[in-house]
Amino acid sequence: LDGSYDPDNIFAKILRGELPCVKIYEDDVVLSFMDIFPQAPGHVLVVPKEAARNALELSDDALAAAMLRVKRIGNAVKAALAPDGIMIAQLNGAPAGQTVFHVHFHIIPRSDGAQLAM
């Protein structure tokens, strides 16, 4: 979990508009877009705009505000897709499975009988 923030990580580039994304929602706190390799249909990412590698390094205010967006976007996914369940996941550090080192939350619809990849 130690190291420094790389401003050229993929999500930083998406936040700056240097790379495209399929945008779901945006405000002053977060940008939300579709995961490019979805684990299930409707797999959405919620990315705080504050520069931090992981949730443990995000400011209290940004974390609290981001979680409210995760809840709202999760409810929007629920309303749109009516999945049987919704996983909210957030990985900190490569050993935990993190691959993009700008803090983000996964919202992953789950349906009965579907195989779990995470």
Catalytic residue annotation? 104
Residue 40: both structure tokens together: 């299930």
The beta-strand segments (E) located in the chain are 23-26, 30-34, 44-48, 85-89, 105-110
* Closer by beta carbon to ligand 5GP, 21 or else 40: 21
* Closer by beta carbon to ligand 5GP, 36 or else 64: 36
Query: Which amino acid is located at 20 in the chain?
Result: P
Residues that bind ligand 5GP (CB under 6 A): 10, 21, 33-37, 91, 97-100
Distance in Å, CB of 62 to ligand 5GP, minimum: 17
SS3 content of the chain, % helix, strand, coil (to 5): 30, 20, 50
Distance in Å, CB of 47 to ligand 5GP, minimum: 9
Distance in Å, CB of 92 to ligand 5GP, minimum: 9
